[in-house]
A and B are shown apart, each in its own frame.
Chain A
Amino acid sequence: MATTKIVVDPITRIEGHLRIEAQAENGRISNAWAVSTQFRGIEIIMQGRDPRDAWAFTQRICGVCTVVHAVASCRAVEDALGIEIPPNANLIRNLVHGMQFIQDHVIHFYHLHALDWVDVVSALKADPAGTARIARSISPWPNNSETYFTEVQDRVKKFVAGGQLGIFTNGYWGHPAYKLPPEVNLLAVAHYLEALDWQRDVIRLHTIFGGKNPHPNFLVGGMACAINLDRAATINAERLEDIHGMIQRAQRFVEEVYWPDLIAIAGYYKEWGAIGGGVPNYMAVGEFPDADVRDTSKLYFPRGIIMGKDLTTVVPYDHLKVKEYITSSWYEYPGGDGVGLHPWEGETKAKYTGPKPPYQYLQGLDKYTWMKAPRYDGHPMQVGPLARMLVAYASNHPDVKPMVTDLLGRLKVGPEVLFSTLGRTAARGMETVLLARRMNVWFDQLVGRIKGGDTATFNRTKWEPSSWPAKAEGYGYLDAPRGALGHWVQIANGKISRYQCVVPSTWNCSPRDGEGQMGPYEASLVDNHPLALPEQPLEILRTIHSFDPCMACGVH
């Protein structure tokens, strides 16, 4: 049977500019290339800047995970200069980052990922009473009435009848891979709309601590939002109460809408527990420190590596074993393309060798993407919610272990289904639930400290450049919604002399390395992967979206 060449460009409902090229044979994908088609050069732009400004520049790597680069950058600079931030600042960063996770994951599920599984047009045929029955059986959410779902359905009907389909134009409606009954489709459509409103409310936590969202403000050495219960312009009881409400509304939505919906939908797509596993190594750098971030024993999500799907062993992580390769990427290294460089020796020198645009195909070219290829000790790694949950599960995490066991029991499947497209999507929901609960703990701790008289949010001892050494280097890690993130900074005479970021999407969207090892996107697409209608690559979207790609992050 002949090979079909496939190009999906743009991959929509993601952050940024991703192109997937593939080859299909007999309804399966036989080869795949993941291509990032945007480069900005932010690592180059960082050179010569004030290290205290770095968070703001690197934050603009991505406006979707708008918190993570800023915090990783602060941590890198704080590591280089030996700054310890006050406990309140750490708690505030946890709260801000925690809400980032929750909001980001919910948006991903409903607005970016859902249409891969949910057929909007099919929702028109649903019986709203049936939807209400299903909804009530899985959740106590108050909007679970027949009237409510009828109203939603009427709106969608009217919308479709109007002929102007807007963002739903040319969707793959009616594709044979859609399996949900109309009633569940309607449920998901209703919550698609509801989530849009919900996210806008809960993200205001960023605005209170950081002044705005997207791109809230951070500060090397702590946080800029002062605490004073007796002033209007500071963090006071009114602000704390507002935050408390958001945390409760976030938790409720996650527990009563997102998580039940996810389980309900997953039940119809169990075969995706055997599809799209890909790279069998999973890496988590850990996140949500309870104390100084350098104390890696006090992280809510633990650090470690699972090699070859072996859940009996957690391999310790050492950042010095991270190297980036450019064998397949449009860059050049002074020492030649064959070597890998640790970020402290990292180079970002663009050298495009691809075809002159407009072009048709990149598949088969030696170099085909702007993405570098990070490797841990020579191995490609999957990062993200699944990696975090697997590492925590294998470490017998008191919250994660029972959660995973419970989920597998409810879906009546074994742990092997986790290494899949479905596993990535399920793990994302799972950690959202855990974090939504955990937010309360951080909030209570913050309030407790303020009650105890500690209002410090900033450590000023190393603020002035005159207090810095002539040369310093630091590593700032952070496990972001999409996975393990690292910022490496070198400072010479008060200025940044080198800045390198290795980002979750760099790991996951990595191209082939010198040994021909594919990165996770590519490897997943060729791992037992169906493609019913090459003209309508719905299955490709499912697996790619299960990673929640962020191209602006990956290349920067």
Chain B
Amino acid sequence: MYSPTSHPWTEGETLGHHLEQRGVSRRDFVEYCGGLCAVLGLGNLAVPRMARALQTLKRPSVIWIQLQECTGCVESVIRTSEPTIGNLILDLVSLDYSHTLMAAAGHQAEDALQSAMKQNAGKYLLVVTGSVPLADGGVYLTIGGRTAETILKEAAAGAAAVVAVGACAHWGSVQAARPNPTGAVGVSAIIKDKPVINIAGCPPIADVITATVVHFLTFGRMPATDGDGRPLFAYGARIHDQCSRRANFDAGQFVTSFDDDAARQGWCLYHVGCKGPATFSPCPIFQWNDATSWPIGAGHPCLGCTERHFWDTMTPFYGRLPDIGGFGVERSADIIGAALAVGATAGVAAHAVATGIHEARRRRSLPIVEAPGGGSSAAPPSSPPSVKE
């Protein structure tokens, strides 16, 4: 029976003391830190430092606001897999505002938010799921009568750091897909005065979220990120380069239709649209739901859900190339391309024939000239293409 609130801390208690109370040995704890360092790609040297930092830590406030979203990201966090790792991490914090889980409603809920922001000003961690609809004055999402933009700006102002969890908070996700009717944008489009870390995915794997939070608590700063604000420990490598079906890719062994023989052998899903070659995500390594499986592991191509605008650039999901302009590129472009190449060849051939006819006519109209140094030959000195080619 492990769960976020089942081993609560008392005020002022450190994690070290807390774990001792719970009968967690020093050795187990260091081992646990080693596991975390491995997840974070930090290497063994960082273990003592993490252990020291975590042991002296007090339970920090986390405020989780939910904006324009589907709640899938919240559900993902609720599924944090590894009992020890997942629950220890959730044990680390005081979740002071969470739409989905909190007991209070209405203005009591909003009061809880206000007082958490006030009491922990400058120190709390702000977690955001969901996007911010900017069109038409923000009327596409209000909470307590206020727009998402207002709420986000207010909550971010006093935050020590901002974690944007999921594709919605990252860049808008499905509601930002063409034609983005509500003008949905991600957190980093609004919050410019402090770093926003993007936990990419629709939804992301829970362990990535929790590990990022631990990193922040341990080192007092966010993990290193790529150009898109995604932590490198999770999003530093492509799915394609870590995939269990890569050997089949290299061998030239592809599923061409679902449930064909190749699918039943577990071959590569490239042909049926896998977006692994363009997607940076730890899915093949961390896997999903207590390392049970992952999309490609269960036979479905990757949709590219950790990449910006994947609803537009990675679709059609079962095609290899994006459908730019929506006219069916996969089907048409290669046909058009091949047709033009054939057409060019045919055009060239026609031109050659036309040139031949023209030349023949012209030559017939030319006077016969004496070929120097040789018997008279009927002009023109023929060098018909047929001979040369």
Q: Which residues of A contact B (CB under 8 A)?
A: 7-17, 37-42, 44-45, 48-50, 52-53, 56-57, 60-64, 66, 107, 111-112, 115, 120, 143, 152, 155-156, 158-159, 161-164, 166-172, 193-194, 196-197, 199-201, 203-204, 206-217, 219, 221-222, 224-228, 231-234, 242, 350, 352, 354, 356-360, 370, 455-458, 460, 463, 465, 494-495, 536-537, 541, 552
- Given A10-B143, A226-B259, A460-B259, check contact A161 B10 (CB 8 Å): yes
- Given A12-B99, A197-B1, A212-B295, check contact A56 B317 (CB 8 Å): yes
B310 CB, min distance to chain A CBs, angstroms: 10
Chain A residue nearest in CB terms to B74 = A63
Q: B259, A60: Cβ atoms under 8 Å?
A: no
B321 located at the interface, meaning its Cβ lies under 8 Å from any Cβ of chain A in the complex: no
Complex formed: what's the CA distance from A213 to B76 in Å?
7
Complex interface: chain A residues within 8 A of B257 (CB): 458, 460, 463
From B11, B68, B81, B99, A200 is in contact (CB under 8 Å) with B81
- Given A17-B143, A42-B175, A222-B259, check contact A12 B109 (CB 8 Å): yes
From B59, B203, B265, A164 is in contact (CB under 8 Å) with B59
Q: B316, A50: Cβ atoms under 8 Å?
A: yes
Stretch at the interface among B132-140, B191-199, B362-370, B371-379: B132-140
Stretch at the interface among B41-49, B208-216, B228-236, B323-331: B323-331
Q: A234, B292: Cβ atoms under 8 Å?
A: no
Complex formed: what's the CA distance from A232 to B297 in Å?
10
A172 CB, min distance to chain B CBs, angstroms: 8
B351 located at the interface, meaning its Cβ lies under 8 Å from any Cβ of chain A in the complex: no
Complex formed: what's the CA distance from A171 to B93 in Å?
19
From B136, B175, B289, B299, A224 is in contact (CB under 8 Å) with B299
* Chain B positions 1-49 with a Cβ under 8 Å from a chain A Cβ: 1-11, 13
Complex interface: chain A residues within 8 A of B313 (CB): none
B186 CB, min distance to chain A CBs, angstroms: 14
Complex formed: what's the CA distance from A465 to B327 in Å?
13
Complex formed: what's the CA distance from A234 to B299 in Å?
7
Complex interface: chain A residues within 8 A of B290 (CB): 200-201, 204
- Residues 287-318 of chain B, each 1 if its beta carbon lies under 8 Å from chain A, else 0: 01110111111111101000000010001111
- Given A48-B326, A193-B5, check contact A10 B95 (CB 8 Å): no
- Given A53-B318, A211-B294, A224-B299, check contact A66 B145 (CB 8 Å): no
- Given A8-B105, A170-B103, A171-B104, check contact A63 B79 (CB 8 Å): no
Q: A211, B104: Cβ atoms under 8 Å?
A: no
Q: B137, A356: Cβ atoms under 8 Å?
A: yes
Q: List 30 A-B contacts (CB under 8 A).
A: A9-B106, A10-B110, A10-B144, A12-B99, A12-B102, A12-B105, A41-B175, A48-B178, A155-B5, A161-B10, A164-B59, A167-B96, A168-B103, A170-B103, A170-B104, A170-B108, A193-B1, A200-B289, A200-B290, A204-B292, A207-B292, A209-B298, A211-B288, A212-B288, A213-B289, A215-B203, A233-B245, A242-B292, A350-B181, A357-B146
Q: B298, A357: Cβ atoms under 8 Å?
A: no
From A213, A217, A354, B300 is in contact (CB under 8 Å) with A217
- Given A9-B106, A13-B101, check contact A358 B72 (CB 8 Å): no
A460 CB, min distance to chain B CBs, angstroms: 5
Complex formed: what's the CA distance from A460 to B178 in Å?
29
- Given A40-B140, A167-B98, check contact A57 B177 (CB 8 Å): yes
Complex interface: chain B residues within 8 A of A537 (CB): 105-106
Give the top 10 A-B pairs by smallest Cβ distance, nearest first.
A63-B72, A233-B266, A41-B181, A171-B103, A159-B8, A211-B295, A211-B298, A458-B259, A217-B300, A170-B104
Complex interface: chain A residues within 8 A of B13 (CB): 162
B141 located at the interface, meaning its Cβ lies under 8 Å from any Cβ of chain A in the complex: yes
Q: A63, B71: Cβ atoms under 8 Å?
A: yes
Complex formed: what's the CA distance from A350 to B180 in Å?
13
* Chain B positions 87-144 with a Cβ under 8 Å from a chain A Cβ: 94-96, 98-112, 116, 133, 136-144
B210 CB, min distance to chain A CBs, angstroms: 13
Chain B residue nearest in CB terms to A160 = B8
Complex formed: what's the CA distance from A207 to B283 in Å?
12
The prevalent SS among residues of B at the interface is loop
Complex formed: what's the CA distance from A48 to B103 in Å?
42
Known pairs A50-B323, A203-B289, A456-B259 / 20 extra A-B pairs, C-beta < 8 Å: A45-B179, A49-B315, A50-B315, A52-B316, A53-B317, A60-B70, A60-B202, A62-B71, A115-B103, A164-B8, A170-B109, A212-B298, A213-B75, A214-B76, A214-B203, A224-B259, A233-B245, A357-B150, A358-B150, A537-B105
Complex interface: chain B residues within 8 A of A494 (CB): 328
* Chain B positions 162-183 with a Cβ under 8 Å from a chain A Cβ: 173-175, 177-182
The residue among A52, A107, A206, A217 with the most chain B CB atoms within 10 A of its own CB is A217
B264 located at the interface, meaning its Cβ lies under 8 Å from any Cβ of chain A in the complex: yes
Complex formed: what's the CA distance from A489 to B253 in Å?
35
Complex interface: chain B residues within 8 A of A40 (CB): 68, 133, 140, 174-175, 181-182, 184
Q: A207, B136: Cβ atoms under 8 Å?
A: no
Complex interface: chain B residues within 8 A of A168 (CB): 102-103
